[in-house]
A and B are shown apart, each in its own frame.
Chain A
Amino acid sequence: MLNNSLYRYLLLLGDNSLILGHRLSELCGHGPNLETDIALTNHSLDLFGQVRSYFQYAAKIAGEGTEDSVAFLRYEKDYLNVHLVEQPNTDFAHVICRQFLWDAYHLPLMKALMKSKDETLAAIGAKGEKEAAYHLRFSSEWMKRLGDGTEESHKRLQSALDHLYRYSYELFKESEVEKEMKEKGIGADLGKILEEWKKTTEDIFRSSNVSPSDDPPAIAKGKQGFHTEHMGFILAQIQYMQRAYPDMQW
Chain B
Amino acid sequence: MTQKEINLEEQFQARIDRDESIEAKDWMPEKYRKTHIRQISQHAHSEIVGMLPEGNWITRAPSLRRKVALLAKVQDEAGHGLYLYSAAETLGITRDELTEQLHSGKAKYSSIFNYPALTWADMGAIGWLVDGAAIMNQVMLTRTSYGPYARAMVRICKEESFHQRQGYEIMLTLCKGTALQKELAQDALNRFWWPSLMMFGPKDDESPNTEQSVKWKIKRKTNDELRQQFVDQTVPQAEFLGLTVPDPALKWNEERGHYDFGDIDWDEFWQVVKGHGPCNKERIDARVKAWEEGEWVRDAAVTHAEKKDSRTEQKVA
Q: A-side interface residues toward B, CB under 8 Å?
A: 22, 25-26, 28-38, 41-42, 44-45, 48-49, 51-52, 55, 67-68, 71-72, 91-92, 144-146, 148-150, 152-153, 156, 237-238, 240-242, 245, 248-250
A48 touches B67 (CB 8 A): yes
Q: A92-B294, A150-B296, A250-B173 are in contact. Are A26 and B59 (CB under 8 A)?
A: yes
Enumerate chain B residues within 8 angstroms of A22, measured Cβ to Cβ. Answer: 59
Q: List 30 A-B contacts (CB under 8 A).
A: A25-B58, A28-B55, A28-B74, A30-B286, A30-B289, A32-B297, A34-B48, A34-B82, A37-B75, A41-B71, A41-B74, A48-B64, A48-B68, A49-B68, A52-B64, A55-B64, A67-B64, A91-B293, A92-B294, A144-B304, A145-B300, A145-B301, A146-B304, A149-B300, A149-B301, A153-B297, A245-B181, A248-B178, A249-B177, A250-B177
Complex-state Cα separation, A175 to B306, whole angstroms? 46
Complex-state Cα separation, A153 to B308, whole angstroms? 16
Q: Mark B260-303, 1 if CB is under 8 A from A, else 0.
A: 00000000000000000000000000100111011111111101
Complex-state Cα separation, A30 to B294, whole angstroms? 9
Question: What's the nearest-Cβ distance from chain A to residue B274, in Å?
Answer: 24
CB contact list, B198-218 vs A, under 8 A: none
Task: Choose from B52, B67, B299 the contact partner of A29 (Cβ within 8 Å).
Answer: B52
Enumerate chain B residues within 8 angstroms of A38, measured Cβ to Cβ. Answer: 75, 78-79, 82
Enumerate chain B residues within 8 angstroms of A45, measured Cβ to Cβ. Answer: 68, 71-72, 75
Enumerate chain A residues within 8 angstroms of B81, measured Cβ to Cβ. Answer: 34
Enumerate chain A residues within 8 angstroms of B291, measured Cβ to Cβ. Answer: 32
Complex-state Cα separation, A242 to B66, whole angstroms? 13
B290 touches A150 (CB 8 A): no
Q: A41-B78, A92-B294 are in contact. Are A146 and B300 (CB under 8 A)?
A: yes
Interface size of B by CB at 8 A reads 48
Q: Does B243 contact A (CB under 8 A)?
A: no
Task: Choose from B55, B61, B296 the contact partner of A241 (Cβ within 8 Å).
Answer: B61
Complex-state Cα separation, A240 to B62, whole angstroms? 8
Enumerate chain B residues within 8 angstroms of A153, measured Cβ to Cβ. Answer: 296-297, 299-300, 303
Enumerate chain B residues within 8 angstroms of A152, measured Cβ to Cβ. Answer: 296, 299-300
Complex-state Cα separation, A67 to B59, whole angstroms? 17
A238 touches B60 (CB 8 A): yes
Enumerate chain A residues within 8 angstroms of B7, measured Cβ to Cβ. Answer: none
B78 touches A32 (CB 8 A): no
Q: Does B120 contact A (CB under 8 A)?
A: yes
Question: What's the nearest-Cβ distance from chain A to residue B170, in Å?
Answer: 8
Enumerate chain A residues within 8 angstroms of B55, measured Cβ to Cβ. Answer: 28-30
A25 touches B300 (CB 8 A): no
A28 touches B60 (CB 8 A): no
Complex-state Cα separation, A108 to B285, whole angstroms? 41
Enumerate chain A residues within 8 angstroms of B74, measured Cβ to Cβ. Answer: 28-29, 41
Nearest A-chain residue to B50, judged by Cβ: A29
Nearest B-chain residue to A36, judged by Cβ: B297
Interface centre among A32, A44, A150 (most CB of B within 10 A): A32
Q: Does B180 contact A (CB under 8 A)?
A: yes
